[in-house]
Chains A and B, each alone.
Chain A
Amino acid sequence: MNDRKDKKLFFRVRKQDRDAFLEAYDLYIDDIYRFVYFKIGNDEEAKDLVSAVFLRVWNQVQSKGLDESKSLKAFIYKIARNLVIDHYRQAKRPTLNIDDDEVSEPLADEGRSVETEMDKVSDLELIKRSLPKLKDEYREVILMHYIDELSFAEIAEITGKSRGNVRVMAFRALKALKDLIEEKK
């Protein structure tokens, strides 16, 4: 993600620029949805939560400001993470089951070959079956660092852990996922 674009948006959102906030929505909606979806495992619930995330971000900008956060992206992830934790508490459902048929966006792309798409689907299935078996903190760090490209510093800010701790956890998480995929194969 464009770091400079994030900084510029961060500056404008901090000034309570409504248009900037909607630009931030356009920029981060996919990432936040994916993050929440892999934590909740249900498309409908994930959508509801993502809507709530952005509304809370705006309310917080108006009431408390963004002064303590390093980036807008980290700030939004932090709120998403807290809302997911609240959701777990209310639903009392700590386990994750990712629905097989609930990924809203079609994966097939007309421009790609059938073989490539088949490989892709099988990879996705493999990952989707493996990820829920990981520890929650491992899954979280894999999504944030390897998929959404958040830096260790940003993840540290979101999770409240040290940067070194996050780095170690990222490597362990990747190794754990690799072991799981090899088992499944």
Chain B
Amino acid sequence: MTEKDVLKKLNVLRDIKPAAEWKSSARDILSAQVFNSSEAVKISLFDEAVFEIRSFFSFFAQPAFAAIGLFVLLVGSVFGANAARNTKPGDSFYAARVWTQKARVAITFDSRAKAKLEMKYASVRAKEISKVLSESSLNADNESDKKKIAKLTDNLKAEIKTVTDKYDEISKSDETESSEPVNVNTTSSSADADGDDVAVGIGRPSVDDGQVFAVDSSKDSKGIQISQPAAIKAEPAPVSATSSVSLTAVATSTGSDFKKNLSDAVDLVDNNDFAGAKNILDQVDTMIDSIDRADQGEVKGVSETATTVSEAIGIGTVSSSQETK
């Protein structure tokens, strides 16, 4: 016999009930006692409504419903994001897509990366608006279509302006950085009385092309110093550590002038040549992609160079002052 069998047997207990006559007479007695001992109470409609609302919400506040709600929210946001990704200007989900892009920009904190992201998004949006304008069946003679075309054209110009502004912003920041490169030099200092003969200098180049400042430990007896192997004392090896490549250089290397393309696109939009504008904006978008790729390559290049420099100056060859002596 299992617990289930016991439960089945227990069910027969449900048939145990008091006699119907007794129930009825007991009810009458109770009713008389209740009605004699209290006044009639009328429950207001407001109280009833409050109860109904509260019980409705308490029903949906159960863990099972909360879990289902969370699941629906998750699925909805995943499908919503996917649906928004494939929309084009004019679709109902397009606003959601623009909002997602803005959110992504907002959570990017590096100013150059932020500008680059804004430039990329604006470029893609400009490309899409020009595509919609060139392929749509909107009729310029129709008043309502005319308004739509005017609005899309304004949006397109605004996006092109954003691309231009962000390009300028990035170029300006690149110029500022490239005028003040950070160098990593290895320099040798003259041996002092204690025989501490090596200093590693990290800083901007000075007038005499030598060290700008040096880490030099005169408390040699116990201090740890970085010593330079004799074999690589020769020439300092300045390394430019700018954070990115020159934007103009990359843009020009693609064969056309980035800004000129953008101003041409604006002219074509003004002349209602949306197909022409679209072709140029396609090129602009390709150029932005190549800038992006070049940036990624540059980051890799900097890290490789840094490894070479660290090997050259002998970081890792740490010796005590006694050994130096």
Using a CB–CB distance below 8 Å, which chain A residues touch chain B? 4, 7-8, 11-12, 15-18, 21-22, 25-26, 29-30, 33-34, 37-38, 43, 46-47, 50-51, 54-55, 58-59, 62, 103-105, 107, 120, 123-124, 126-127, 142-143, 146-147, 174-175, 177-178, 181-182, 185
Contacts and interface: CB of A to CB of B under 8 A. Distances in A.
A107 B13 CA distance: 10
Contacts of B9: 123, 126-127, 181
Contacts of B37: 58-59, 62
B6 A181 contact: yes
Nearest to B17: A105
Contact of A182 (B1, B10, B43): B1
Contacts of B20: 105
A22 B1 contact: no
A28 B108 CA distance: 64
14 contacts: A11-B51, A22-B30, A29-B26, A30-B18, A34-B13, A103-B16, A104-B19, A107-B12, A107-B15, A123-B12, A124-B15, A142-B10, A147-B13, A174-B7
A22 B21 CA distance: 16
Contacts of B1: 178, 181-182, 185
A127 B12 contact: yes
Interface string B30-51: 1101110110110100010001
Contacts of B16: 33-34, 37, 103, 105, 124
Nearest to A37: B16
Given A16-B41, A104-B19, A146 B10 contact: yes
A15 B44 CA distance: 10
Given A127-B12, A142-B10, A174-B7, A29 B23 contact: yes
Contacts of B34: 18, 21-22, 58
A33 B18 contact: yes
Contacts of A104: 17-19, 22
Interface residues of B, number: 37
Query: By CB atoms of chain A within 10 A, which of B2, B10, B51 has the most?
Result: B10
Given A15-B43, A55-B30, A105 B55 contact: no
Chain A interface SS verdict (over half): helix
Q: List 7 tightest A-B contacts by C-beta distance, closest first.
A: A104-B19, A105-B17, A33-B18, A123-B9, A124-B12, A178-B6, A30-B17
A4 B40 CA distance: 24
A121 to B, nearest CB: 8
Given A51-B30, A105-B19, A124-B15, 15 more contacts: A15-B41, A21-B34, A22-B34, A34-B17, A47-B22, A55-B30, A58-B38, A62-B37, A104-B22, A105-B17, A142-B10, A147-B11, A174-B7, A177-B6, A185-B1
B300 interface: no
Given A33-B17, A181-B1, A4 B12 contact: no
B26 A51 contact: yes
